[in-house]
Amino acid sequence: MITQIAFIGIALLTLAGAIGVVLARSVFVSALFLILSFVGVSGIYVLLEAPFLAGVQLLVYVGAVAVLIIFAVMLTRDMMSEETPFLNRQWGCGGVMAAVLFVLLLLIGFIADWPVSSAKPPEDTISALGEALMGKYVLPFEVASVFLLVALIGAIVVARER
């Protein structure tokens, strides 16, 4: 019973963050709502008893992607000026497509017979994953981090006042 209440609360938090991303007028506020939504997804992983995925969600999405988005928004000049309209001309088409997709996903969810398994993964899975990430694939991760650092420095140089 407590798990269900916690799930409903976290799901509402995640949904509120997602709705805030779409409805926020400021791009910066929208990025903050995106962080709230990512934290909610991490909470759902905790309820699913997947602490590794919850940690990765926090580190990768909240810690890296969302911060990178906020840097990009803050380094962009005049992103949301007063002349920018609040709604664009295609909001109706987007709303209709979102409603159609929602109904389609509901139909698939109720019609499909999803197999449910409560089997736990093997105990050595996490240690094998850690050994692979820190052994065999450490060079690609380091190269990707250097590329992201170069892109961030390039964005700062481009956006800097002259």
Both tokens assigned to 49: 């008893």
Per-domain boundaries in the chain: 1-63
Residue 24 · residue 33 · CB < 8 Å: yes
* Burial class of 42 by CB neighbour count within 10 A (0 to 12, 13 to 18, 19+): buried
Rg of the chain in Å (alpha carbons): 20
Structure tokens at 25: 């007028």
Look at the pTM and tell me if it is higher than 0.75: no
pLDDT in tens, the chain (162 residues): 888 999 999 999 999 999 988 888 777 788 889 899 999 999 999 999 888 888 888 888 888 877 777 777 777 665 556 665 656 677 788 889 989 999 998 988 888 877 777 777 677 887 888 888 788 888 888 888 898 888 888 877 777 765
Straight-line distance from the first to the last Cα atom of the chain, in angstroms, rounded to the nearest whole number: 60
The 3-state DSSP class for residue 141 equals helix
CA dihedral 120, 121, 127, 128 (to 10 degrees): 180
* Strand stretches in 26-138, DSSP E: none
Strand, helix or coil for residue 92 = helix
